[in-house]
Amino acid sequence: MQLFGFPQRFLVMYCVWKSVVAGPDAGLKTWERFSKLDYPGDKAFLYDIFPRNFMWAVGTAAYQVEGAFQKDGKGLSVWDTFTRGGNRIATGDVGSDSYHNIQADIRALKQLGVSHYRFSLSWSRIFPNGSRGSYNEIGTNYYRTLIRKLKEINVQPVVTIYHWDLPDHLQKKFGGWGNPALIELFRDYADFCFQTFGNDVKYWITIDNPFVVAWNGYGTGKVAPGIKNDTDLPFKVGHNLLKAHAVAWHLYDRRYRPRQKGKVSMALASHWIKPSRTRRESLRACQWSLDFVLGWFARPLFTDGDYPPSMKHRLSHRLPSFTRAEREEIRGTADFFALSHGPSLSYQLMDDSLKFGQVEVLDLRMLLYWIREEYDNPPIYIVESGWFVQGEIKTEDSKNMYYLKRFIMETLKSIKYDGVNVIGYTHWSLLDGFEWHREYDIRRGLYYVDFNTHNLKRRPKTSANFYKTLIQKNGFPQLPENRPAQGVFPCDFVWGVSANSIQVETTPTQQVDPSVYVWNISGNGELRRLEGHPAPPLRRTSRCADYASIRQQVEEIRLVGVSHFHFSLNWSSLVPSGNVSQTNTTLLGYYRCFTSQLQQANITSMVTLWHHTRQRSSLPAPMEAAGGWLHSDTVLAFVDYARLCYRELGAHVKMWVTLNEPNDDHVSFAEGHQLLRAHALAWRAYDQEFRHTQGGQVSLVLHMDWVEPAFSFSRKDVEPANRVLDCRVGWFSEPIFGSGDYPPRMRNWFHQLTSVDLFSFHLPLFSDEDRQLVRGTYDFFALSHFSTQLVTPTIEENKLASTLGVQYMGDITWIMSPRPNAPVVPWGLRKALNWVEEHYKGVAIYVVANGVQEDPARFSDSLRVYYLYNYINEALKAYTLDGVNLKGYFAYSLNDQRDPGFGLYSLIQDDAIAKASLSQYRNIIRHNGFPLQGSAAPAQQCPSQPKPCPGCLVLSKRPVMGFLFLVGSAVLVALGIIVYYTAKRHK
């Protein structure tokens, strides 16, 4: 149903003026407040517990789960009629059959350990035609039995009197809630409920989600009774629903509260909305959206008994008005704020016209704070929350579990950080059932119901186990492994920074411009070029110090405070033809200068020979054209190229990487096999021909983002996670660091796939010769790590499984980075390091690339500051607590010019601007970790590092020193002779 009859831009202008008249709303500050919170610290997971006596609950609605729609005298409801009309396929005639399965539901509640159970009474089961005169004793006894059994397991009932299932007789006779006659009929029904069940019920909900009833039941027609095309009717319905609630509340307050001591409210649902722009008008539009959905019913109950001013101004005569007496009758008729949040409304039954051009999002925490500010901090009981999975999903409901985790985390933050008075949380729902307009297409239950079995057997889902554990712990208590570690790395720990490549300048800066300049020293001090007077050519050869780009880059690296720098050579530029006899000597000389200048600055180079990139091939063009790595000649050419680099640069490079991240998803198994051979041959070339004179080390770098089971307590998920790690990392690590062959789990998996498609997933076999060639070709284990993923074997929502038979997903409580599918999960690094240690005991490990992408324009890069601190802290835990032989850590990357968004430096024109993260990293390096603060423990004493010495390289050359000694001795002898004869002549 469309709310507006004229273009929205006029509505915005109109409502801005009217909002000024109405005055600012208290909740309007919500968006501004949350935009100023610490980022990303405020988004980090909060380990804490809920207040004592916090109410943990689950809920159901009668029509969704009871079934028995014509059993024991029950009358028809509007839903019984609605589901039999139009294009609807399924009904709730059976639902979850809770009417015949009370004991099974009680067993489920007991297993969960909840303190409260919210359920609804079926009006047409108690009063089949809607009036007291049709009273049905058998139907009433069903609820008496349910409440008694709840008491037996110490679960308190939270009872909803009306949850959308109006007796069909009242709809046909009176036209439903559009008729004020239903107010008194509802009062009589509520009176019976209070009288009959009230001694055992302390929390009552009169009406659930009046917005959906009014707007979608009598406006859009999406839910029962399915009335549409009368644009005024929803507001009349809402008017009557408010009055019906008020009379029921006053009835309880006067007649039953003194004796029964219960509380009564109305369950109000809401979405959340964020501004599409950073303008004041957008914030106002967000406020109007909440006014038209939540404020429609909340403001009359919690503020002044009347509708929000924005609704009154916009709707004018279409919105019914309250008399002064009616406003007083409605105002204050809620003992707590009963909030419903989830897909009963959000993204399901929200019209675009009610979003006022803004963006709907899921944010329970901001909604809770808005309620706090808008309605003077009432006690809030979340009486419905949760999400859903698709109907074909059975017990492994990963998405539902992680949404549950997120909503509870947001509730905890609202209590601890925002001062919101939340008294309870209800997950929706206990069981799978009939999901209103979605029928059985989705499932929301903690317990799986097999609708194809005779007794509709219930089975706990993964989300049920999660919720049960959470209730037992009353939240997320902090464990020792969640606390930041204090301590330091060993004195010889390597601190480095990485870059994919370096800036190359093929002509020394001093030789670029041959012009002659005159310095106007007495005037403005500017240099003026003399036209037609070129400088004579330089008679000396160029020096490494002539390259301004080298000086600048070395200085940037030095200022970070690291001892090592990792970068990659460009094979296709250095040896364009692939034949080392046709080497680009200019570029080779530049690399030689760069590494030598790093060495003079006491910075050790870690140099990669071949850096794999997805975007473009980094092989020499002729080799790429000839088949790339699939051709054996490429392997031999790579070994020749490696020898060239060892020979020409080895004096300045002590750490070599043959291949950087060859274990990419886009690399075929055949290519990977050849890459392993290329690495092994290059390693053995260094080992046999250069190691004894150069004393360096050689290995390869493997990309190793961590993979965590979506359900860590499920063996079914642990196996797929291990499979992914073996097929991603073990693919290269096991042949080199382990057995000399591919991991057995990897072979077995692809052997299964081979039976389906012989050629797509063929994993090559190692000959005995190749196995001996490859095995043991390492000096250290180098890995790059950026993020973590979850995996599950359960494929949902028509998603295609990967070749590894898993679905990848994320935990929505993780901090998200701008890079897709790359959340910030610090503990993933620790687990990755432990995986390496467990598989290859005692191997020296270097993390050679670890970083996060962030907007390059943010000099105060708070996400990277957070990232570096927490990831390095997890690395410290791996070293100090787990015994991992971690030797070094390299931040990625040096600057944004070569690696956009990842740099410690941002580049503005030609100037490098240090970001906040550089200071953070330098500070960690200076302290060699995270030393104890204010402790009596002595500070770590490490040998001081030698300071950069430009002349040290000369002093280290013995032939040069010998020549200088001889020259100096000759000069001294000559001076001695001259002095002797001069003195003799004077005598």
| Whole-number pLDDT of residue 795 | 75
Q: How confident is the model at residue 952 (pLDDT cuts 50, 70, 90)?
A: very low
| Whole-number pLDDT of residue 12 | 37
- Determine which helix (DSSP H) or strand (DSSP E) holds 458, and give its type and residue range: strand 458-460
Distance CA 850, CA 827 (A): 13
pLDDT at 904 over 60: yes
| Whole-number pLDDT of residue 514 | 62
Tell me, yes or no, whether 935 lies in a domain. Answer: no
Tell me, yes or no, whether 971 lies in a domain. Answer: no
DSSP string, 670-738: HHHHHHHHHHHHHHHHHHHHTHHHH--EEEEEEE--EEEESSTT-HHHHHHHHHHHIIIIIHHHHHHHS
Mean pLDDT throughout 156-168?
Answer: 98
| Whole-number pLDDT of residue 809 | 92
Q: Which of 242-256, 716-730, 795-809, 914-928 has the lowest mean pLDDT?
A: 795-809
One domain for residues 557 and 423: no
| Whole-number pLDDT of residue 521 | 60
| Whole-number pLDDT of residue 624 | 92
Q: Which amino acid is at 389?
A: V
Check if the beta carbon of residue 327 is closer than 8 Å to that of residue 380: no
Q: Which amino acid is at 97?
A: D
One domain for residues 447 and 593: no
**pLDDT tens-digit series, residues 553-574:** 999 999 999 999 999 999 999 9
One domain for residues 916 and 777: yes
Distance CA 546, CA 552 (A): 11
Q: Check residue 630 and report its DSSP letter.
A: G
Q: How confident is the model at residue 21 (pLDDT cuts 50, 70, 90)?
A: very low
Distances, alpha carbon 714 to alpha carbons 394, 708, 719, 884, 900, in Å: 14, 12, 9, 26, 39
Per the model's pLDDT, the better-predicted residue between 979 and 729 turns out to be: 729
Distance CA 441, CA 34 (A): 36
pLDDT above 70 covers a percentage of the chain that reads 88
Tell me, yes or no, whether 3 lies in a domain. Answer: no
pLDDT at 626 over 50: yes
pLDDT at 509 over 80: no
Check if the beta carbon of residue 188 is closer than 8 Å to that of residue 200: no
One domain for residues 545 and 464: no
| Whole-number pLDDT of residue 11 | 37
442-443/389-390 β-pairing: antiparallel
Mean pLDDT throughout 530-536?
Answer: 69
Domain count, the chain: 2
Distance CA 545, CA 593 (A): 8
| Whole-number pLDDT of residue 938 | 72
Question: Which pTM value belongs to this model?
Answer: 0.89
Tell me, yes or no, whether 263 lies in a domain. Answer: yes
One domain for residues 146 and 221: yes
Write down which residue in 892, 911, 930 finishes a domain. Answer: 930
The closest of 337, 334, 327, 291 to 310, measured between CA atoms, is: 291
Q: What value does the mean pLDDT of the chain take?
A: 90
pLDDT at 250 over 80: yes
pLDDT at 65 over 90: yes
The closest of 935, 904, 315 to 306, measured between CA atoms, is: 315
- Determine which helix (DSSP H) or strand (DSSP E) holds 150, and give its type and residue range: helix 137-152
Q: How confident is the model at residue 962 (pLDDT cuts 50, 70, 90)?
A: low
Distances, alpha carbon 952 to alpha carbons 541, 556, 694, in Å: 21, 21, 18
Distance CA 713, CA 466 (A): 10
527-534/807-809 β-pairing: unpaired
Distance CA 920, CA 891 (A): 11
Q: How confident is the model at residue 356 (pLDDT cuts 50, 70, 90)?
A: very high
**pLDDT tens-digit series, residues 714-733:** 777 899 999 999 999 999 99
| Whole-number pLDDT of residue 987 | 47
One domain for residues 465 and 555: no
| Whole-number pLDDT of residue 715 | 75
Counted residue by residue, the chain has a size of 987
Domain that holds residue 409: 20-475
| Whole-number pLDDT of residue 966 | 63
| Whole-number pLDDT of residue 950 | 46
pLDDT at 760 over 70: no
Distance CA 502, CA 518 (A): 35
Check if the beta carbon of residue 906 is closer than 8 Å to that of residue 856: yes
Distance CA 585, CA 6 (A): 72
Instruction: Please count the CA atoms within 13 angstroms of the CA of 853 that sit on its side-chain side.
Output: 13
pLDDT at 957 over 60: no
Q: How confident is the model at residue 977 (pLDDT cuts 50, 70, 90)?
A: low
Q: How far apart are the first and last CA of the chain?
A: 124
| Whole-number pLDDT of residue 799 | 60
- Determine which helix (DSSP H) or strand (DSSP E) holds 790, and give its type and residue range: strand 788-792
One domain for residues 258 and 325: yes
**pLDDT tens-digit series, residues 217-232:** 999 999 999 999 999 9
Tell me, yes or no, whether 7 lies in a domain. Answer: no
**pLDDT tens-digit series, residues 370-403:** 999 999 999 999 999 999 999 999 999 999 999 9
Distances, alpha carbon 224 to alpha carbons 208, 210, 573, in Å: 14, 13, 70
**pLDDT tens-digit series, residues 672-715:** 999 999 999 999 999 999 999 999 999 999 999 999 999 877 77
Phi-psi region of 357 (alpha: psi -120 to 50; beta: other; left: phi over 0): left
| Whole-number pLDDT of residue 893 | 96
Residue with tokens 């999903």: 393
Helix axes 916-927, 548-560, angle to 10 degrees: 60
One domain for residues 548 and 694: yes
pLDDT at 339 over 60: yes
Residue with tokens 């050869």: 541
Instruction: Please count the CA atoms within 13 angstroms of the CA of 796 that sit on its side-chain side.
Output: 21
pLDDT at 661 over 80: yes
Q: What is the CATH number of the domain that holds 49?
A: 3.20.20.80
Distance CA 780, CA 797 (A): 43
| Whole-number pLDDT of residue 585 | 95
**pLDDT tens-digit series, residues 541-554:** 678 888 899 999 99
Q: Render the burial of 414-433: b for 16+ CB within 10 Å, e for the rest.
A: bbeebebbbbbbbbbbbbbb
The closest of 488, 616, 552 to 876, measured between CA atoms, is: 488
Tell me, yes or no, whether 131 lies in a domain. Answer: yes
The closest of 177, 184, 288 to 233, measured between CA atoms, is: 177
Q: How confident is the model at residue 38 (pLDDT cuts 50, 70, 90)?
A: very high
Angle subtended at Cα 734 by Cα 729 and Cα 736, rounded to the nearest 5 degrees: 110
- Lookup: tokens for 722: 């291990």
pLDDT at 15 over 60: no
Query: What order of strands is seen across the sheet that includes strand 788-792?
Result: 706-709, 788-792, 807-809
Chain centroid to Cα 809, Å, comes to 10
- Determine which helix (DSSP H) or strand (DSSP E) holds 380, and give its type and residue range: strand 380-385
pLDDT at 961 over 70: no
| Whole-number pLDDT of residue 7 | 36
Tell me, yes or no, whether 9 lies in a domain. Answer: no
One domain for residues 144 and 36: yes
Q: Which amino acid is at 827?
A: W
One domain for residues 462 and 502: no
Distance CA 791, CA 716 (A): 11
Tell me, yes or no, whether 326 lies in a domain. Answer: yes
pLDDT at 289 over 80: yes
| Whole-number pLDDT of residue 6 | 35
Mean pLDDT throughout 930-936?
Answer: 77
One domain for residues 837 and 921: yes
Distance CA 837, CA 465 (A): 31
One domain for residues 683 and 733: yes
Q: Check residue 262 and report its DSSP letter.
A: -
